[in-house]
Amino acid sequence: MSVNLLTNLIENDSILINQRAQTWQEAIEVSCKPLVEKKLISPNYIDSIINSTIEHGPYYILGPFLAMPHAEAGKDVFKDCFSLVVFDKPFYFDQDSRPVQILITLGATSADIHTAVALPQIVAAFENSENIDKIIKATSKEEIIAVLEKVDFSKYLNS
């Protein structure tokens, strides 16, 4: 596996909790900020996600309270990366009634990373609704790391 979700989040210090956003656009900006600061993605990547969402809708909502915003693989991405950002309260995308409170933003250098590596790990981590609840209620990064350390990521990965 070329990109490990948990290792990537820890190495890039890209777990944020109790964040605030008035709009979904602001939430996208907040979720990308640690990746831009580490020079893993370009600031242009934020605009790409927002423009793609306006054009195609929030197709990356994966389930209750969870979305994986991303844009075209390779463009404005310097290194494969994730951020995991928990907001203090749910927010909504335009024309969509599903609440979102966790954003796992993905920057992928190739489409293969997106489909074969990133998505399977996110499914493994969040298929259990208890994990979503624990992450939303977490009061520290360490609590989120502890939840993710218990996940068997290998079951969905073809390694």
Q: Domain total for the chain?
A: 1
d(CA 155, CA 136): 24
Catalytic residue (one of 24, 27, 70, 103): 70
Query: How is residue 94 annotated by DSSP?
Result: T
Local confidence band at 133 (pLDDT 50, 70, 90 cut-offs): very high
pTM over 0.75: yes
Pairing mode, strands 61-63 and 81-91: unpaired
For position 3, what pLDDT does the model report?
Answer: 77
Identify which of 136, 151, 75 has the alpha carbon closest to the alpha carbon of residue 104: 136
Tens digit of pLDDT for each residue in 92-131?
A: 999 899 999 999 999 988 877 767 778 888 888 899 899 9
What domain range includes position 133? Answer: 5-156
| Closest C-alpha to 94, from 118, 58, 133, 62 | 58
- d(CA 3, CA 135) in angstroms, rounded, equals 21
Choose the most confident range, by mean pLDDT, from 5-14, 30-39, 93-102, 126-135: 30-39
Query: CATH number of the domain that 39 lies in?
Result: 3.40.930.10
Active site residue 114: no
- Mean pLDDT throughout 6-29? 96
